[in-house]
């Protein structure tokens, strides 16, 4: 059975490509997901993608990963800066975790500089635009090979 990577996007990321292209770029979340699926498929892996604007749904999706996915690539959006619940869910997960931020959160407002998720992440990418998702996925692929 092929290995699976969960691709999780948090609040407002469903608006990718539709608003604020100067910060988040012109690609839609569907574009990003399709590229990640193609990259994973070429490496013999599966991707299960979800986006939610609700913290509890993200927590439950991470619970599902415990018996289903070998790695998680997650952009928790604004929950990065607030959510102990998502951190706790990731700490109860044994696989690889990569945190992605499209923008460089360290170059933005001070409240974005801290992420609760980073203390659990095996790697963190910020400021690589939407390419960050594929870079994180490439790292997962090489570690899972
Ligand atoms: O840079 C990132 O990827 C962020 O995780 C994006 C979050 C922000 O709260 C974090 O500080 C950094 C916001 C996501 C909002 O996404 C939108 C995309 C297009 C248009 C409007 C919002």
Which protein residue's CA is at the shortest distance from atom 13 of ligand 1?
A: 77
Residue 96 placed within a domain: yes
For residue 30, the model assigns a pLDDT of 98
Residue 122 placed within a domain: yes
In angstroms, what is the span from residue 117 Cα to ligand 1's centroid? 15
Is residue 45 within 8 Å of 69, Cβ to Cβ?
no
The pocket around ligand 1, CB under 6 angstroms, is made up of 12-13, 15-16, 19-20, 24, 75, 77-78, 80, 101-103, 105, 112
The length of the chain, given as a count of residues: 145
For residue 108, the model assigns a pLDDT of 98
Rounded-to-integer distance, Cα 140 and Cα 71, Å: 7
For residue 111, the model assigns a pLDDT of 98
Task: Copy the structure tokens of residue 96.
Answer: 């690889």
Residue 123 placed within a domain: yes
For residue 99, the model assigns a pLDDT of 99
**Nearby residues of 16 by Cβ (< 8 Å), 6 or more positions away:** 24, 25, 27, 28, 29, 32, 102, 130
Residue 2 placed within a domain: no
Which protein residue's CA is at the shortest distance from atom 7 of ligand 1?
A: 77
Q: According to DSSP H, which parts of the chain are helical?
A: 21-24, 29-42, 55-65, 84-91, 131-144
Q: What is the domain count for the chain?
A: 1
For residue 1, the model assigns a pLDDT of 72
Q: Would residue 17 be called left, alpha or beta, if left means φ above 0 and alpha means ψ between -120 and 50 degrees?
A: left
Residue 5 placed within a domain: no
Tens of pLDDT along the chain (145 residues) come to 799 999 999 999 999 999 899 999 999 999 999 999 999 999 999 999 999 999 999 999 999 999 999 999 999 999 999 999 999 999 999 999 999 999 999 999 999 999 999 999 999 999 999 999 999 999 999 999 9
Residue with tokens 């990569």: 98
Residue 41 placed within a domain: no
What CATH number does residue 18 fall under? 3.40.50.9100
User: What are the CA-CA distances from residue 41 to residues 1, 29, 61, 117, 131 (Å)?
Assistant: 13, 18, 21, 27, 17
In angstroms, what is the span from residue 77 Cα to ligand 1's centroid? 5
Which residues are tagged catalytic?
24, 101
Rounded-to-integer distance, Cα 6 and Cα 26, Å: 23
Rounded-to-integer distance, Cα 114 and Cα 19, Å: 24
Residue 89 placed within a domain: yes
Domain containing 21 equals: 11-28+46-144
Residue 36 placed within a domain: no
Which protein residue's CA is at the shortest distance from atom 9 of ligand 1?
A: 78
């Amino acid at each position: 059975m092929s290995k699976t990577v969960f691709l999780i996007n948090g609040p407002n990321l469903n608006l990718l490509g539709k608003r604020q292209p100067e910060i988040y770029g012109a690609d839609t979340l569907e574009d990003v997901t399709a590229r990640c699926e193609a990259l994973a498929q070429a490496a013999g892996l599966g991707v299960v993608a979800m986006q939610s604007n609700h913290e509890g749904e993200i927590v439950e999706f991470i619970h599902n990963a415990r018996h289903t996915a070998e790695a998680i690539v997650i952009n928790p959006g604004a929950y990065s800066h607030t959510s102990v619940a998502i951190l706790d869910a990731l700490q109860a997960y044994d696989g690889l975790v990569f945190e992605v931020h499209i923008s460089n959160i360290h170059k933005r407002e001070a409240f974005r500089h801290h992420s609760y998720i980073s203390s659990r992440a095996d790697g963190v990418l910020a400021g690589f635009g939407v390419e960050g998702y594929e870079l994180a996925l490439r790292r997962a692929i090489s570690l899972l090979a």
